[in-house]
Structure 1
Amino acid sequence: MAKHRRFRRLGLPVFGVLAAMAAGSALAAEPANPAARRIVSIGSAVTEILYDLGAQDRIVAVDSTSTYPQGTKEKPDIGYLRALSPEGIIGQNPDLILLQDGAGPPDALTVLRASGIATATIKALPLSETIPDKIRDVGAAVGLGDKAEVLAQKTKAELDAALAETAKIPQPRKRVLFILSVANGRIMAGGKGTEAAAMIEMAGGINAADQITGYKPLTDEAVIAARPDYVLVMQSGNHHLTPDQVFSLPAFLSTPAADNRALLQMDGLLLTGFGPRTPKAVGMLTSQLYPQSN
């Protein structure tokens, strides 16, 4: 019987967007196992990359954020990447645990690394320039460096082309507010250093919540001051929101977005994954923000 799968994004890792942090290899200095045949893949981007490299038959389990591509639903689910149980992972008898940076909690990682099972961590900075290295590092960890290099170069070329198109968009740029969730009227938004903010900027928009860092609540006054032209939300999962849910909130009544009920919805993994599909995500969001440019 298929397990119930959850998609939880609250508690996403937050990173300072500093160019210096993008330099060098993304693979942590940990032993990998290029010959591994039983891989536990933890992190949506890591899992997507493994599938793109043709290594899906070597994956014995995934975390609950790994819901793409379709075949991941047939894999055992070892839980949410930030609330891992070492026992559940070790019980899969893996010969490699491949972790996306931000997995945890720390005590669980300590147990996994002490287990003697090869464990490698892939950094996951929300920066477009780190995506090719992320692909290369996943490939190196599983002995598919040549295939990873091809995929990395293809992804970089596609991303460069997408960013070149957004660079042509004339001023003024659209202001976009990403809402992660709304609970009891409290609006959780994506500020500086988040995947959502980086995606908005790559798509030619302005992150309307740049007064905060990370995923944090916004007051009604802050929402009004943000003046979003669009509100961006995830189209499915626990954080899905409808236009009525958003624009019935008092904070949004006087915003430009409310005038046209301008709510954009995107697949959460596509929006925040920062993997091989990121060029597609940039193009999709750009076309929604600037339909007249297409």
Structure 2
Amino acid sequence: MVPPNPASVVTPKRPPSTRRALRARLAATALLAASGLLLSGCAAPASAGGAAGTTEPECVGTELPFGELELTAHPREFEGPSTACLADATLPVVDVDEQPELPVTLTDASGAEVTIESADRVLALDIAGTLAATVHGLGLGELLVGRDGSTGFAEAADLPVVTHDGHSISAEAILALDPDLVITDTTLGPRAVLDQLRDAGIPVVTTTRERSVDNVDEIITEVAAALGVPARGEALATLVGDELERVNAEIAAAIPADPAERPRTLFLYVRGDANVYYLFGEESGADSLIDAIGGFDVAEEIGWVGMRPITAEALVEARPDLVLVMSGGLESAGGVDGLLERLPALASTPAGEHRRFVDMADTEILGFGPRTPAVVEALARAVYAPAQSGPADATE
């Protein structure tokens, strides 16, 4: 993955003519990079989201309240795959009459002091699509002029994509959009491109790269601060927090009281066409999803930290009852049958024997933005009420 950016000084303010010249020169450099002469991607998983330029597939879950669903009595023993679908794919948006108060100077997550004078043309980019969803949730989606490949919600479908290979940003594509603010984290690179943007006089604000159910409010607050709308940020954080509290209370009633009855769960990142199979463990964000739906976190038990290529030995030791995967990843491996054929060790686990896989759209499952409560609820439906969760035959 791309290493964290070091703290930098305040972005220098340059005369318009100087900025235009710099951007022209950088655009030429970026053109060479786009040809593969300068830029190179990292060797980690291609993306926490879908392929660049795609949007979320049609997947509509039941609108029945969770408490009215018919729950499976023994979630560890259920057989067959299911798909987690959002009951409502619409992004929650706050209704607060607050306009951006700029300029603002802040210290971002990298320790850099950044001054933002305008936020009329914004790029919010990260590997999970979290930041763009947050801007939209703040009621400022009209400020976005482009998107990353993992931003797949419908409201952003017409925006041009400025990433390639899922995790690499293109200086040429960014400069062509003439943004006056870039909000990102350290999950996209190369870092040199961000330095080029700063040299061109474009403020770059770095937010925390941590993604989990528990820090959505932190991300919202950081994005709101960069846009000069703290009241909108507070309102959105409260909205998401209250909804998550409601969802957690409903799910708690479905979680087996006996820990031994809770499904042993792991998150597998799959890109079958590239022969990439990663187990997402502790501190990856996937662990917080497993905890939120009441699963037994197998990665914690076997001491698996971060995101690392899976091994046959780890799968045998893990003995999962349930495997969470991205829908696109599962499809790339040839569905459940194809994945079990590619990973024989997985086929010998309880999850493999019962074909117990829960998939969810690549651009949703690890988004950790304003839709986090809806994502958690959709996953819980697919685990505890699989017959009422979504199109279970989608990945057969």
User: TM-score band (shorter)?
Assistant: 0.7 to 0.9
| Identical-pair percentage | 30
Distance 1:239 1:46, change over 3 A: farther
Alignment of 1:50-129 (within 5 A): 50-68=135-153, 70-80=154-164, 82-129=167-214
Residues 117-171 of structure 1, C-alpha deviations (whole Å, 9 max, x = no match)? 1111121312333211211221121122222211110111122233344445222
- Alpha-carbon distance, 1:48 to partner: 0.5
- Alpha-carbon distance, 1:42 to partner: 0.8
Distance 1:103 1:204, change over 3 A: same
- Alpha-carbon distance, 1:103 to partner: 2.4
Determine the C-alpha separation between the residues in 2 that align with 1:156 and 1:11.
Answer: 30
Corresponding residue SS for 1:251? helix
Q: Is the counterpart of residue 31 in structure 1 residue 66 in structure 2?
A: no
Determine the C-alpha separation between the residues in 2 that align with 1:238 and 1:114.
Answer: 41
Bigger CA radius of gyration: 2
- Alpha-carbon distance, 1:12 to partner: 5.7
Residue in 1 aligned with 2:12? none
Of stretches 244-253 and 148-157 in structure 1, the one that deviates more from structure 2 is 244-253
Residue in 1 aligned with 2:337? 244
Q: Work out whether residues 269 and 329 of structure 2, in 8 Å CA contact, stay in contact via their aligned partners in 1.
A: no
Residue in 2 aligned with 1:212? 304
Determine the C-alpha separation between the residues in 2 that align with 1:214 and 1:239.
Answer: 24
Q: Work out whether residues 265 and 297 of structure 2, in 8 Å CA contact, stay in contact via their aligned partners in 1.
A: yes
Corresponding residue SS for 1:31? strand
Residue in 2 aligned with 1:42? 125
- Alpha-carbon distance, 1:246 to partner: 2.3
> Which of 219, 228, 232 is the aligned partner of 1:147?
232
Determine the C-alpha separation between the residues in 2 that align with 1:156 and 1:146.
Answer: 15
Residues 204-260 of structure 1, C-alpha deviations (whole Å, 9 max, x = no match)? 112323332222122212211111111111113687541112233321232111232
Corresponding residue SS for 1:213? coil
- Alpha-carbon distance, 1:114 to partner: 2.2
- Alpha-carbon distance, 1:94 to partner: 1.0
Distance 1:133 1:40, change over 3 A: same
Determine the C-alpha separation between the residues in 1 that align with 2:186 and 2:216.
Answer: 13
Residue in 1 aligned with 2:242? 157
Alignment of 1:276-287 (within 5 A): 276-287=370-381
Residue in 1 aligned with 2:265? 176
Q: Structure 1, unaligned stretches of length 5 or more?
A: 1-8, 14-24
Determine the C-alpha separation between the residues in 1 that align with 2:268 and 2:350.
Answer: 16
Whichever residue aligns with residue 268 of structure 2, its letter is: I
Determine the C-alpha separation between the residues in 2 that align with 1:279 and 1:179.
Answer: 21
Calculate the aligned-residue CA RMSD, in Å.
Answer: 2.7
> Which structure is richer in relative contact order (CA contacts within 8 A, separation 6 or more)?
2
Give the TM-score taking structure 2 as reference length: 0.63
> Which of 332, 344, 360 is the aligned partner of 1:266?
360
Q: Structure 2, unaligned stretches of length 5 or more?
A: 1-43, 49-106, 389-396
Determine the C-alpha separation between the residues in 2 that align with 1:256 and 1:89.
Answer: 47
Whichever residue aligns with residue 244 of structure 1, its letter is: D
Q: Work out whether residues 184 and 207 of structure 2, in 8 Å CA contact, stay in contact via their aligned partners in 1.
A: yes
Whichever residue aligns with residue 142 of structure 2, its letter is: D
Determine the C-alpha separation between the residues in 2 that align with 1:185 and 1:64.
Answer: 21
Give the TM-score taking structure 1 as reference length: 0.83
Determine the C-alpha separation between the residues in 1 that align with 2:209 and 2:291.
Answer: 18
Q: Work out whether residues 30 and 121 of structure 1, in 8 Å CA contact, stay in contact via their aligned partners in 2.
A: no
Whichever residue aligns with residue 200 of structure 1, its letter is: I
Q: Work out whether residues 220 and 251 of structure 1, in 8 Å CA contact, stay in contact via their aligned partners in 2.
A: yes
- Alpha-carbon distance, 1:61 to partner: 1.3
Whichever residue aligns with residue 173 of structure 2, its letter is: G
